[in-house]
Amino acid sequence: MALVCLFDEAVGLDRFQLGGKGYGLVEMSSIGLPVPPGMIITTEACKKYYAQGGRVPEGLFDELKQKLAKLETLTGRQLGNPEKPLFVSVRSGAPYSMPGMMDTILNLGLNEETAVTLAKRTGNERFALDAHRRFIQMFGKIALGVNGQKFEDILESHKQKLHLKQDTDLGPAELRLIIQEFRDLIKHDTGSELPRDPWAQLQMAVKAVFRSWSNPRAVEYRRYYKIADDLGTAVTLQQMVFGNMGEDSGTGVGFTRNPSTGEKKLYGEYLRNAQGEDVVAGIRTPDSLDTVTAGLRSQIVDVAGKLESHFKEMQDFEFTVENGKFYLLQTRNGKRTAQATVKIAVDMVGEKLINRDEAISRINPAEIDQLLHRTLDPKANVKAIAKGLNASPGAASGIAVFDTNEAAMLGEKGERVILVRPETTPEDIHGIIRAQGLLTARGGMTSHAAVVARGMGKAAVVGCSSIKLDPDNRFFKTADGLIVKRGELITIDGSTGEVLLGNVPMIEPELTDDFRTLLGWADKSRRLGVWANADNPEAARKASEFGAEGIGLCRTERMFNASDRLPIVREMILSEDEEHRKAALRRLFPFQLSDFKDIFRSMAGKPVTVRLLDLPLHEFLPSAEEVMMIMEDQRSKHASASAMEQEARLLAKIRQLSEHNPMLGHRGCRLAVTYPEIYETQTEAIIRAAIEVRREKGETVRVLIMLPLITNVNEMIFLRKHVETAAEHVFAEMGEKIGYKVGTMVETPRAALTAGELAKYADFFSFGTNDLTQTTYAFSRDDAEAKFMSRYLEDKILTDSPFETLDTTGVGRLVRMAKEEGRKTNPHLEVGVCGEHGGDPRSVAFFNEVGLDYVSCSAYRLPIARIAAAQAAIAKSKTVGTV
């Protein structure tokens, strides 16, 4: 394969061979757009360079020389020829854009002689000298490795001497002096003269571009953006065009559509008599493309149209006008806001540029998250004072409040409050509900605060361990020593984990018509059902609004820890025998009944999967420390013996229930094996609620009862029997029946490994991929994220956190096995996912491929899941098509 291709020889190669920049040039050139001629050294050459330990591939420069000769013929100019000098740019260009990370050398071909020719040709000596000066500076720094600051220092000293402000104010005489000083610097620092032969320079420039692929900035950038290290960069050689040749020259950038709004309207800027870097330097204000000459504008409009109809995408292009002649120097897909992405995709379908599947496929689902939450205005110039885990997306401002009751009280009065706590417990719910957002010093992505906030769509930053929090004295202190007291205004960004001082301007979310249209198309393309995780009627309504086809996970913990129920729940836990326990459960019954009715009403006949109690009982009790403080207080106040006795009993129970590893302890269905009456009461409330709502509304209520943490088919058999008995009890009482299903979470490796057996007794499986990941890896999510996950990602031992994107190799293997073996023994088995992976696009693609029936995720991630599910289906149908 050729390592060097002239533009017209490169047609058909892709961006992995040509780099993004080269690909754009080749494509534009191929459709007749005015591109200065040039050639591309493909990424292949760079890869060989590295494979050979930093040596230029054999024959590369021979090939380059041959192709250069063709370019010289084509342009009628020659590199280094004093009469008809050819000037070229030597640019890096990787398959994925890495802006500013690698090196580029312009104006190659300029030397003492050709600079004179250029001056003559343009009639602008200053321009020619300055171009020469720029070349030496770039070449010295990049190809010869001279410290760039030294060139700047020389330039600066001349400006200071003459009291000049801008480089452009330097006249020809000064520029000559500077050029000489640059040459002296190079000789002094490298021990040799600057090579005079442009061909030698060109070879050095190519090598410099290769080297720049592995400079520390570029490596760091790739690590951050997860770009593979072995892609290599291409090198583009192109004839220089100059926008600074006078008033009929200039340079500009254009977007084929508005990148902020997506509106189909040419957008961009133009600076007369200038080169690209002058735009960056910002000496003069560029003109809007609306104000350029009609001739130029019509050329740009024409180009924009051609670009879009070729690339089928909004383009961001750079152009230069040299003496009235228009040249395109670059084009690429334009960066845009999420809102613009959606609008453009929908509009282009209307314009028949693309079809609906293509529209869906080009959305980055992760990006549209920002359309669903308030976000900080990116233009606001603010600095974070601390950073924690981005536990629940969205941004919120309010006064810092350190006490839950106070937060609830202020919130109720309409005050905007950020609740700041070491961590939260179910008892903080009333404060969380009334707060705008949540900031905790401890806890990870599955901490109480994080889970509750995500469920409510409320912004939260958790595990912000860099702050020193003193809730008693109502302040926190940042790592920099800044003290934030109660009542001070702060802002948290739950999408980035940042904490900021003051009230930061925000952008409100907008569910535009375009977005709805796109989601509608997605729904038609996808195979996977998209359900929601919702624990209460508001969340259920939100889920319906965002397109949920059912509830895949309705946790019942909140029905136990709301403040009006907690005392009864505690009574139940402290009961010494079954009789008292049952009595307490009876008193909880009405609350549960009304909660379930509300949820069934708001889902209006769509399926609702209720997970029976999962949390360990100690989660419903206060901490030992809290009780000990109360007891101390009682002692000092000489409280009654019976009151003290009560607290002592509570403390004993807390100690008795405490566990070494609560995640692996007495929770989930294990609770119900010990106390079957808990699930019995829950089942009775569910079934009664379903029948009552059916009577009310006359429409079927679809109930799925889900058993958590099953590891053993005997648990399934034992508890299914209890559930069925409880349901029969209600049927008998109410004189009518209702259909319902009983299924299990698959959230332990053993459940997955014995899925064939479980499926004989389960109507459905729901993969709890959070816990399944924790147990498969033996990772406690909180501990892993606090202690070692970042190190694992940095060292590339993990490429992604398995809690964000499903580990398809290990956990995914269990998912696949369980689904296949479950379906084998029970062909009617419904199989879904209710872990947070249900809202992660890459995981959704996997679940689609494995053949699950649905994914379930929090309401605010539903649009993402709908898009991702459609993309997965489209990608799969393409694969099937080509195989």
Stretch that binds its own copies, among 322-330, 395-403, 746-754, 865-873 (CB under 8 A): 746-754
Q: Which of 285, 640, 642, 809 binds its own copies (CB under 8 A)?
A: 809
C-beta separation of 102 from 209 below 8 A: yes
Q: DSSP per residue over 594-648, as a string? A: HHHHHHHHHHTTS-EEEEPP-S-GGGGS--HHHHHHHHHHHHHTT--HHHHHHHH
Q: Which of 172, 195, 509, 665 binds its own copies (CB under 8 A)?
A: 665
What mask, x for binding its own copies by CB under 8 A, covers residues 252 to 291? ----------------------------------------
Per rule CB under 8 A, is residue 777 in the interface with its own copies?
Answer: yes
Q: Measured from the CB atom, is 121 or 721 closer to its own copies?
A: 721
Per rule CB under 8 A, is residue 811 in the interface with its own copies?
Answer: yes
Q: Measured from the CB atom, is 511 or 797 closer to its own copies?
A: 797
Is 448 in the active site?
Answer: yes
Per rule CB under 8 A, is residue 793 in the interface with its own copies?
Answer: no
Stretch that binds its own copies, among 122-130, 488-496, 574-582, 663-671 (CB under 8 A): 663-671
Q: Is 430 exposed, middle or buried (0-12, 13-18, 19+ CB in 10 A)?
A: middle
Per rule CB under 8 A, is residue 674 in the interface with its own copies?
Answer: yes
Per rule CB under 8 A, is residue 807 in the interface with its own copies?
Answer: yes
Q: Measured from the CB atom, is 312 or 670 closer to its own copies?
A: 670
Q: Which of 2, 116, 673, 875 binds its own copies (CB under 8 A)?
A: 673
Q: How far is the CB of 636 from its own copies (least distance, A)?
A: 18
The runs of H, that is alpha helices, within 469-623 are: 513-525, 537-545, 557-561, 566-574, 578-603
Q: How far is the CB of 412 from its own copies (least distance, A)?
A: 32
Per rule CB under 8 A, is residue 503 in the interface with its own copies?
Answer: no
Q: How far is the CB of 443 from its own copies (least distance, A)?
A: 9
C-beta separation of 551 from 532 below 8 A: yes
Per rule CB under 8 A, is residue 795 in the interface with its own copies?
Answer: yes
Spatial CB neighbours of 137, under 8 Å, sequence gap ≥ 6: 148, 151, 182
Number of residues written out for the chain: 883
C-beta separation of 614 from 709 below 8 A: yes
Tokens of 448: 């109480």
Contact positions with its own copies (CB under 8 A) in 164-193: none
Q: Which of 661, 735, 828, 883 binds its own copies (CB under 8 A)?
A: 661
Q: Which of 132, 373, 448, 722 is catalytic?
A: 448
Of 410, 343, 318, nearest to 89 by C-alpha is: 318
Q: DSSP per residue over 827-839, as a string? A: TT-EEEE-SGGGG
Residue position matching structure tokens 């009789």? 579
Q: What are the CA-CA distances from residue 178 to residues 136, 144, 152, 201, 221 (Å)?
A: 10, 18, 11, 20, 34
Is 834 in the active site?
Answer: yes
Q: Rounded to whole angstroms, how far apart are CA atoms 504 and 491?
A: 6
Would you give the DSSP letter of residue 466? T
Per rule CB under 8 A, is residue 664 in the interface with its own copies?
Answer: yes
Stretch that binds its own copies, among 204-212, 256-264, 753-761, 830-838 (CB under 8 A): 753-761
Q: Measured from the CB atom, is 321 or 806 closer to its own copies?
A: 806
Phi, psi (degrees; rounded to nearest 5) at 705 = -105, 125
Spatial CB neighbours of 50, under 8 Å, sequence gap ≥ 6: 210, 213, 214, 230, 232
Q: How far is the CB of 650 from its own copies (least distance, A)?
A: 17
Q: Which of 392, 776, 826, 858 binds its own copies (CB under 8 A)?
A: 776
Tokens of 604: 């209006």
Kind of pairing, strands 417-421 and 389-392? unpaired
Per rule CB under 8 A, is residue 477 in the interface with its own copies?
Answer: no
Q: Rounded to whole angstroms, how far apart are CA atoms 274 and 252?
A: 9
What mask, x for binding its own copies by CB under 8 A, covers residues 699 to 738? ----------x-xx-xx--x--------------------
Q: Measured from the CB atom, is 507 or 624 closer to its own copies?
A: 624
Per rule CB under 8 A, is residue 114 in the interface with its own copies?
Answer: no
Per rule CB under 8 A, is residue 666 in the interface with its own copies?
Answer: yes
Q: Which of 137, 397, 774, 843 binds its own copies (CB under 8 A)?
A: 774
Q: Rounded to whole angstroms, how far apart are CA atoms 759 and 761?
A: 5
Spatial CB neighbours of 770, under 8 Å, sequence gap ≥ 6: 446, 747, 781, 803, 835, 836, 837
Q: Measured from the CB atom, is 500 or 573 closer to its own copies?
A: 573
The runs of H, that is alpha helices, within 437-483 are: 448-456
Per rule CB under 8 A, is residue 780 in the interface with its own copies?
Answer: yes
Q: Which of 697, 787, 824, 878 binds its own copies (CB under 8 A)?
A: 787
Q: How far is the CB of 751 from its own copies (least distance, A)?
A: 9
Of 805, 848, 837, 808, nearest to 526 by C-alpha is: 848
C-beta separation of 137 from 151 below 8 A: yes
Per rule CB under 8 A, is residue 301 in the interface with its own copies?
Answer: no
Per rule CB under 8 A, is residue 219 in the interface with its own copies?
Answer: no
Burial 164-178 (b: 16+ CB within 10 A, else e): eeebeebeeebbeeb
Per rule CB under 8 A, is residue 754 in the interface with its own copies?
Answer: yes
# of chain residues touching its own copies (CB under 8 A): 49
Q: Which of 5, 46, 554, 834 is catalytic?
A: 834
Q: Which of 112, 797, 824, 878 binds its own copies (CB under 8 A)?
A: 797
Q: How far is the CB of 632 from its own copies (least distance, A)?
A: 14
Per rule CB under 8 A, is residue 824 in the interface with its own copies?
Answer: no
Q: DSSP per residue over 74-119, as a string? A: HHT-BTT-SSSB--EEEEEE-SS--TTTS-EEEEET--HHHHHHHH
Binding site for its own copies (CB under 8 A): 659-666, 670, 673-674, 709, 711-712, 714-715, 718, 747-750, 753-754, 757, 771, 774-780, 782-784, 787-788, 791-792, 795-798, 807, 809-811, 813-814
Q: Which residues participate in catalysis according to the annotation?
A: 448, 834
